[in-house]
Chain A
């Protein structure tokens, strides 16, 4: 074994021929020596390395490069955008329980809330509430005018930009228009909060804010007139009356030498434009001219 290892070492160049002969003097290494010597003389193809390389290069080999993709910011943006869309859409699908009702010009809508309270929405108004929270919190947001018949139960709140109305169970009308906020109580008690001031209304009382001026007006109708396709006004500036006309008839009213702050008491129908315009203009000694969608109001006294 030892001899074999030494022979291997000899062939590996670790021991010289003479050393191994001394170590194992009993063995004849002549044949091995000759094998080792002559086997080195075997002819191998002499390669002209440079020439071979040139030949190799002639082939023009394709190189499969692994492309290092930098984390592309644009890719992230795309991913983020997709995620955003998914998250927002899923939010609206699964988490947004806001329900809203909306009416256009000259349109009213009647519907029930989850607790069977009835709401009648006047023209160009919007009402939004949270379906999920409704049982715990009867609260809704109104932009425009609506009549409520609230069924008995927990506190019922109507939020508007101008003020807040709270009731327990009653009938009332809320009108919230530009520079105009009016709450009319038709039954029970209604609490109105306006500018941190709270007023409790009883049946037949109304609370009105026109251009920042608070007024308390009594009335004796049992239902708001607009439910019967009529708009009634009690000392309301012409400006708001015109707005109401525009909402009910899809017209644009322009004026000429007309005082918009003068008050109007009366009503107009929602069924006939001419009659409605007449019922507003005649008491105020005005005239009107219809030009398509445009209506011009002017004072005939001035002309």
Chain B
């Protein structure tokens, strides 16, 4: 117990913990603030906090602590910077073989509207939705990371899907 508790203070252990989680936590911060450059800064601060308090944190809870720390940062800092998310370039469309220009245009428009719709999601719904979609996290994992129940995650996910579907269906016509 004693050894596991202070494992986090061990530099090599901390490094591997850092490398393991840096991408997903930065993504998470990005979903929160939607600012690429700022999200890494927040994450670095969060890691700094963990390093400082390494002896107090149970390493099995370190990941949760990391996400909670970033989450709390946004409670205090800048609530919304309306920097809109963008799609990565050169991504395939859902029907890879369809090169019909009308189809391509239609899909581009869909993507654009989806992007706006996602921006319209509530913070909690968006972060759950994106953690699931982009990071491919299971609901259980998300619940663990955010220190909330799996039911809450599923509820938020359902809410997000309903909202997005409604938005997209409305615009369909």
Contacts and interface: CB of A to CB of B under 8 A. Distances in A.
A59 B49 CA distance: 12
Nearest to B111: A38
B67 interface: no
A52 B37 CA distance: 12
A13 B141 CA distance: 13
A43 B86 contact: yes
A44 to B, nearest CB: 5
Contact of B134 (A7, A40, A49, A52): A40
Interface stretch (A60-68, A136-144, A226-234): A60-68
A36 to B, nearest CB: 7
B30 A45 contact: yes
B130 interface: yes
A211 interface: no
B87 A41 contact: yes
B166 to A, nearest CB: 10
A196 interface: no
B39 interface: yes
B161 A66 contact: no
A201 B157 CA distance: 113
Interface residues of B, number: 53
Nearest to A65: B55
Given A12-B138, A47-B26, A38 B44 contact: no
Interface stretch (B15-23, B58-66, B69-77): B15-23
A49 B22 contact: yes
Nearest to A62: B52
Contacts of B27: 44-45
A53 B22 contact: yes
A66 B168 contact: no
Interface stretch (A27-35, A72-80, A243-251): A27-35
Majority-rule SS of A interface residues = helix
Contact of A31 (B43, B111, B118, B172): B172
Contacts of A65: 9, 54-55
Contacts of B102: none
Contacts of A49: 18-19, 22-23
A220 interface: no
Contact of B55 (A32, A41, A56, A64): A64
Contact of A11 (B36, B91, B157): B157
A17 to B, nearest CB: 11
B13 interface: no
A52 B48 CA distance: 12
Interface string A1-25: 0001001100111000000000000
A38 B55 contact: no
A159 B70 CA distance: 85
Interface in A84-142: none
B157 A45 contact: no
Nearest to A28: B169
Most buried by B among A36, A43, A45: A45
Contacts of B18: 49, 52-53, 56
Contacts of B26: 44-45, 47
A50 B134 contact: no
Contacts of B19: 49-50, 53
A208 to B, nearest CB: 78
B48 A34 contact: no
A55 interface: yes
Contact of B133 (A34, A39, A52): A39
Contacts of B115: 42
Given A47-B23, A61-B48, 16 more contacts: A13-B138, A31-B172, A37-B94, A38-B94, A38-B107, A38-B114, A39-B118, A41-B87, A42-B86, A44-B30, A47-B22, A52-B18, A59-B48, A64-B55, A65-B55, A66-B56
21 contacts: A4-B158, A11-B133, A11-B161, A12-B138, A31-B165, A32-B161, A33-B94, A34-B107, A34-B110, A38-B110, A40-B133, A41-B88, A41-B91, A47-B23, A52-B22, A52-B40, A52-B44, A61-B51, A62-B52, A63-B55, A64-B54
